[in-house]
Structure formats: C-alpha cells, structure tokens
Structure 1
Amino acid sequence: MSGDLPDYFFRVRENGAFVFRVDSENRQRRIEMDQIAVVNIRNGDIKPHGDRQLSDTDLGAIQDWMQDRRQVLAEREMDDIHRAVDYLNMTAHWAQSRATEAQLEDVTDDLLMAMHDLRTVLVRKKAERMNIT
C-alpha cells in the first residue's frame, strides 16, 4: 500500500456513499477510518454522521467527490446504452441465424414489447427535439 493515503474514503453505495476521514497519524500507525457523513448523489444531501460538524474542508472534499461521481455515473450510463445497441444487433443476428423455435417462442413477446416501448419513447423524444429547434 502506498505511503500517501487520501484524507477521505468514500464507501460507495447505490445512492451515494458513506464518507470516512482517514487517519494514520496515531501511535499505533494503524489506518483508522472515522465515518463523518452520508451522501446521497440523487438529491445532493450531505448528512453529518452523528453529532459531527463538517468543516469547510470536509464539505469541499465531499462536493468534489459528488461532482466526480456524477460524471463517472453519466459516462457509465452512456456506455451501457451503447452496449444495449450492440446487444440489440447481436440479438437480431442470433434470432436470424441460431435461435431455435423454442427459444424464439420464449423471448419474442417480451422483446417485441420492450422494443415497442423503446421505439415509442424514442419517437416521442425525437419529435419533441424537432419542435424545439
């Protein structure tokens, strides 16, 4: 492990993170992590843990992390969408070239409904964009 530890550690969870202050400057030279806050990425809430008062430095580090985390999540979301396009293409190839009658029977209705729903949303959003510009 590197000798330079960060001042804060963010234990990621689905909606944000638990925030810990990292301390290795103690007599035992052990790494101690003291929870100082809970962060919610979706609504931007920063809740101090227990009776804690967060310093401006704490809040700044948390806000920087939240901004970086939102960017990472947005990039991942777009990557997932691009992968979905690939999966749709691979699914079309599978259905045309390798799928058995039983396999097609198993997935056709679900795929058609999902694709119909997606198409409806995309067409509506496209129409909205065309009316705006």
Structure 2
Amino acid sequence: MTETGALPPYYFRVKENGALVFRIETENRAQRLELAPIATVNVRNGEIRPQGGGELNADDRAAIEAWAGERTTELSRREVSGMTELAERLNLAAQWAQAHATPEELEAVTDRLLLAMHDLRAVLARKRAERFIGG
C-alpha cells in the first residue's frame, strides 16, 4: 500500500529468478480488485517479457526495471548476509565438534563438512589470487 492507502499500480509475484508482474485494476463494473498479468521479469539476465498478448508501455517498463534493480540489490544484500551467517555457523560448528559432539555425531558429518570446507577454501583462495593478479 502507498502512504495514502491507495493500492500501487503493480503487483510483483516473486519467484526464484524474478517475478510475474500484474497490473492492479480496480476500475471495473464489479468494483473488484483484478490482477492482470502484463509481464515476466528475470533478474538474472534482465529479460522482461510481455504477457497476455499486450505490449508494455513506458510506465510499465520503467516500473518493472525499477523493481528489478531494487530486487537485485536486495538479493545481493541477502547473499552477503548469508555468508556472514555461514561464517558464524562454522564457528559454532567448530565449538560443537570440540565440546559437545559424540563420536557417532562426528562420524555422521565429518566427511561432508571436510569436503565442503575444502571446496570453499579452494574457491576463496583462487578468487583471492585472481583479485591480486588482476588488480
């Protein structure tokens, strides 16, 4: 909702790689709220495809592009936050392994954790080297 309580002109049904975009229509004979599909947007590749056999006008395209930019920023922020949380989880896992885990529990997770950490370390080391060499 906007500050005045009026509905926004568009609704974005978020999906994994973008959204389905609907125009919110309230002015009809039945005075019902209708969501008219107008586009799909893919935030990974920037593709915007009209839906429903219509074309997007300049306002539609501008609103979709603005949403896609905001969504990309939000997803990036969440990804970085997730990595920060992962580092904390790794610290907690080390403490658990040292102080609380039973031998059986350690046996159940050790190989998976070691392989995942080895893979992560290799990727991080390679990326760091690329940054130093390239920059």
TM-based fold match above 0.5: yes
Residue 23 of structure 1: how far off its partner (Å): 1.4
* From 83, 87, 90, the counterpart of 2:89: 87
Q: How does the TM-score come out when normalised to structure 1?
A: 0.95
Which position in structure 2 is the counterpart of 1:62? 64
| 3-state SS, counterpart of residue 56 of structure 2 | coil
Equivalent residue letter for 1:49: Q
Residue 3 of structure 1: how far off its partner (Å): 3.4
Which position in structure 2 is the counterpart of 1:17? 19
Residue 50 of structure 1: how far off its partner (Å): 2.9
After superposition, the Cα gap between the structure-2 partners of 1:56 and 1:6, relative to the gap in structure 1 and judged at 3 Å, is same
Question: For 1:99 and 1:50, how far apart are their aligned partners in 2?
Answer: 56
**What is the 5 A alignment of 1:28-67?**
28-67=30-69
Question: For 1:97 and 1:117, how far apart are their aligned partners in 2?
Answer: 25
Deviates more, 1:62-71 or 1:23-32: 23-32
Question: For 1:54 and 1:30, how far apart are their aligned partners in 2?
Answer: 23
Give identity over the alignment, percent.
Answer: 50
Question: For the Cα contact (< 8 Å) 2:11–2:22, is it kept in 1?
Answer: yes
Which position in structure 2 is the counterpart of 1:4? 6
Residue 27 of structure 1: how far off its partner (Å): 3.4
Number of positions where the alignment pairs a residue of Structure 1 with one of Structure 2:
133
Equivalent residue letter for 2:129: A
String of CA shifts for 1:20-62, please: whole Å, max 9, x gaps.
Answer: 0001223333211100011111111111113111100000000
String of CA shifts for 1:90-121, please: whole Å, max 9, x gaps.
Answer: 00000001000000000001111111111111
- The 4+ residue runs of structure 1 with deviation greater than 2 A are 25-29
Which position in structure 2 is the counterpart of 1:106? 108
- Which runs of no fewer than 5 residues in structure 1 stay unpaired? none
| 3-state SS, counterpart of residue 5 of structure 2 | coil
Q: How does the TM-score come out when normalised to structure 2?
A: 0.93
- Which runs of no fewer than 5 residues in structure 2 stay unpaired? none
Question: For 1:89 and 1:109, how far apart are their aligned partners in 2?
Answer: 17
| 3-state SS, counterpart of residue 79 of structure 1 | helix
